[in-house]
Amino acid sequence: MVVKELYHQWQDVELPSNLSEELEAIVGNGDAIEDRFYQYVSFGTGGMRGVLGAGTNRMNIFTIRRVSEGLARYISSNGEAAKQRGVVIAYDTRHFSYEFACETARVLGAHNIRSYVYKEARPTPQLSFTVRELNAYAGVVITASHNPKQYNGFKVYGEDGAQLTPEYANEIVQHMNAIEDIFAIEVEELVQLEQRGLLSWLSTDFDHAYLTKLLTLKENENIELDMKLVYTPLHGAGLVPVREGLQAFGFNNVHIVEQQAIQDGAFPTVSYPNPEEPAAFALAMALGQEVGADLLLATDPDADRLGVAVKSGEGYELLTGNQLGALLLHYLLSTKQVNGTLPDNGVLLKTIVTSELGTAIAKEFDVITVNTLTGFKYIAEKIAEYDRSGAYTYLFGYEESYGYLIETFVRDKDAVQVALKVAEMAAHYEKGGQSLLDALQDLYRQYGFYREALVSQVFEGKNGQEEMKAILDNLRQEAPESIAGIAVERFEDYLAGITTLADGTTEEIVLPKENVLKFVLADGTWIAIRPSGTEPKCKFYFGVVGDTVEAASEKLERLQVAFNR
């Protein structure tokens, strides 16, 4: 259907009052109508994410039913056993998250597919754990991760507890595209599903099971546990497991930011519930000053990303995702080396846009580094591959966007695991008279001063998407031979699956195809360009290394100026 036809179709059916009022408010506004109906919210390997509201390009009960119907048809196509194993459903604290979780169960139930739904908001990594614990066929989490309050989303997990890879996501999309009438999707009442044994509400038993696994992360008994910590869940789902995990680890001097412990999808104390943003730490920093805390921890609403701030002089300094990843990697490998548990075939998994500092650290411990595409699903895919083949022993995986995984009872990034390990790591260095910032400087002095930057450019609406596509098309057609006066040594086109070297020869990229470009320069400097899979933006990544912090910073600035888009 064309935009106007879809708009009138939605006007002609009975909608919840909030949706009908929204459509009434945009009568005659062509741009507003087109934005809501020019497409369906796209579904990919990261699931779907969009603004809440009325229309096919918005998150509402009808677009949730559509993706749930696609999932249900996919599961049904895999037989009765898949339907009986069922789907675990979790959700964060966002507006309509609980309602969307229930709608998902209602659609699945209409296909006689079992659902296991958490009674309360729980983190995304706990969803991944529970899928594996219950041997479910799939998992769903209702979340928009760290997006602003007007967003929500729908992420699908496979039976291994990992986000779907493109092959399986495309199957769900095909089933979604076969749906002729979004308003004719059948749903079952929750009470009837309970009576038929198709809906089970998950209790705290799985909280305890997850906590038991978390305690296996504790490797360093030779630390002091009286360090003062501040933790904020940013109004999200991380409160229960992080607080209980730190307590179980033995940290009894933990202070919670009470204003942000309230689970509220409006995120009233922050404009952007993202632990990458300094503003998200404002209340944590104030409490830290009040109690004299050395370390601040923050998780995003679904608790798969962790931000860390460290006491520095009179205030606090935030660590970047690359910095925290390097610190964790070095601490994990050092601890295993001391304990005699470092395997001979260890592997580090990181993404192609993550700092090369991790590669340098891993090499020092004779650990191989394997790069993946951006998205933790690709790291999880490699974990599964090595589990089957035994070729490597997984030690750590991370990406620059504040996502990390230590132990593989979860197959997605897990801020709960990492919060506990960061506290242990900070206590270890504190015992030796160092902060995490001191430890980071030691890494730079040993391996080189690595600096990275990320610039995001927003491309809203249909016109924005076309403009973003044109930028990448132009770079493909006229790839620069040098940037900032430095020769381009390698041009990597991950959509074509080809690397072009400076002499014109080519190599195959043995990774799934994705719309990413990367330029590697003769001095090791690199630039990557990647459209976001879940937000209307294009991301430009920059990475350099220098002999001094000044040299690295100056090189990074020159690179960004030269590649200004």
List Cα–Cα distances, 269 to 168, 264, 275, 284, in angstroms: 38, 10, 13, 11
Q: Compute the half-sphere exposure of residue 499: CA atoms within 13 Å on the CB side of its CA.
A: 13
Residue 482 a catalytic site member: no
Q: Got the DSSP string for 249-306?
A: HT---EEE-GGGTS--TT-TT-SS--TTSGGGGHHHHHHHHHHT-SEEEEE-TTS--E
Sequence-distant (≥ 6) Cβ neighbours of residue 478 within 8 angstroms: none
**Could you count the other beta carbons within 10 Å of the beta carbon of residue 420?**
24
Helices (H), 111-144: 124-134
Phi and psi (nearest 5°) for 472? -70, -40
Alpha-carbon dihedral of residues 379, 382, 388, 390, nearest 10 degrees? -110
Catalytic residue among 68, 97, 115, 145: 145
Q: Are 294 and 310 in contact (CB under 8 A)?
A: yes
Strands (E), 59-198: 87-91, 115-118, 138-142, 151-157
CA dist., res. 344 & res. 351, Å (int): 23
Q: Please give the positions annotated as active site.
A: 145
